[in-house]
Amino acid sequence: MHLARFPRARFAHLPTPLEPLPRLGAALGIDLWVKRDDCTGLAGGGNKTRKLEFLLGEALALGADTLVTQGAVQSNHVRQTIAAGARHGLATEVILEERTGSKASDYMGNGNVLLDRLMGASIRFVPAGTDMNEELEASAEIVRRRGGKPYVIPGGGSNTVGALGYVDCARELMVQADAQDLRIDRLVTATGSAGTHAGLIAGFAALSVDVPILGFGVRAPKARQEENVFNLALATAQTIGAAGRVRREAVVADCDYVGEGYGLVDQGVIDALALAARTEGLLLDPVYSGKALKGLIDQARKGAFEGQRVVFLHTGGAQGLFGYQSVLEPALA
């Protein structure tokens, strides 16, 4: 693969650290490491920043003046997209779906939403269940009618362009592991809009890296999540010249830890957030990385990773904690 063939706007702080988590690992009885993609730099960082380097690269190459994207109210992707636009002088039109149903003042106005407003985005809210693809096109058409040139970014930045960011992460991770003589037995991450998971799978396939990837789902049922990841991994592999290398059995999503739904926090998530914070000073988010760690903790305690060295990909999003104060504070007290 030769990623220099694709337009790219470079602003991420890369490579992100690959670090041991000795105290958290000891608490779980496993050899645990973390790939710190919360440290990518853009407006607090997170995994979407890698995707946005390629998405912004294409947008700028096409002469766009406005980014159009969508997400749930406390979307980490939206925050990073607005920041990328601001950095390059592009306006941003955002649609936020009230996906969780929460009307709490902290959820609707603090955390990522506060940062979205601080960075100057145009924001409109829509009810849960809205057809977000239709809303994206409607916003893009409004931009066109006023003489602008929109560039539409899907939720999570998860298309073949965005997934290139995690093809590159797969390469970066293996270079770091080899430099430290670190054998990785399992890579664990949250899996939602599919771009991170699919990009890693396509990247490992292109590099002939045989490291199993386990995605802990945050929204969709297992069958649908694995299908979404597999289809995007296939398309991404074809884009980078590695068609035919992605195997269906490489796509594994455990969606047993979603709980009551996307963005809804249960005691298992709160316990995971607290354990990471109190053993390692590591701040996770309630929607993605916290839910993935909830799954990792439970599976580790059941012996699923016995004798393995596990790398946890931290997708960022701690900014969203402030949108969940009314949920977290009573449980932590």
Q: Pick left, alpha or beta for residue 307 (phi over 0 → left; psi -120 to 50 → alpha; otherwise beta).
A: left
* Residue whose token pair is 């990792």: 296
Of 144, 123, 27, 254, nearest to 112 by C-alpha is 123
Active site residue 122: no
Q: Pick left, alpha or beta for residue 72 (phi over 0 → left; psi -120 to 50 → alpha; otherwise beta).
A: beta
| Catalytic residue (choose from 75, 139, 158, 193) | 75
Instruction: Examine residue 15 and say whether the peptide bond preceding it is cis (omega within 30 degrees of 0).
Output: yes
Sheet containing strand 252-254, strands side by side = 18-20, 31-36, 309-314, 186-191, 213-217, 252-254
CA distances (Å), origin 164, targets 37, 47, 298: 15, 12, 31
- Strand-strand pairing, 31-36 and 18-20: antiparallel
Contact 201/233 with Cβ under 8 angstroms? Answer: yes
Tell me, what DSSP letter sits at residue 131?
A: -
DSSP 239-271: HTT-TT---GGG-EEE-TT-TTSTT---HHHHH
Contact 195/162 with Cβ under 8 angstroms? Answer: yes
Whole-number Å distance between alpha carbons of 247 and 244: 8
Just list the catalytic residues.
75
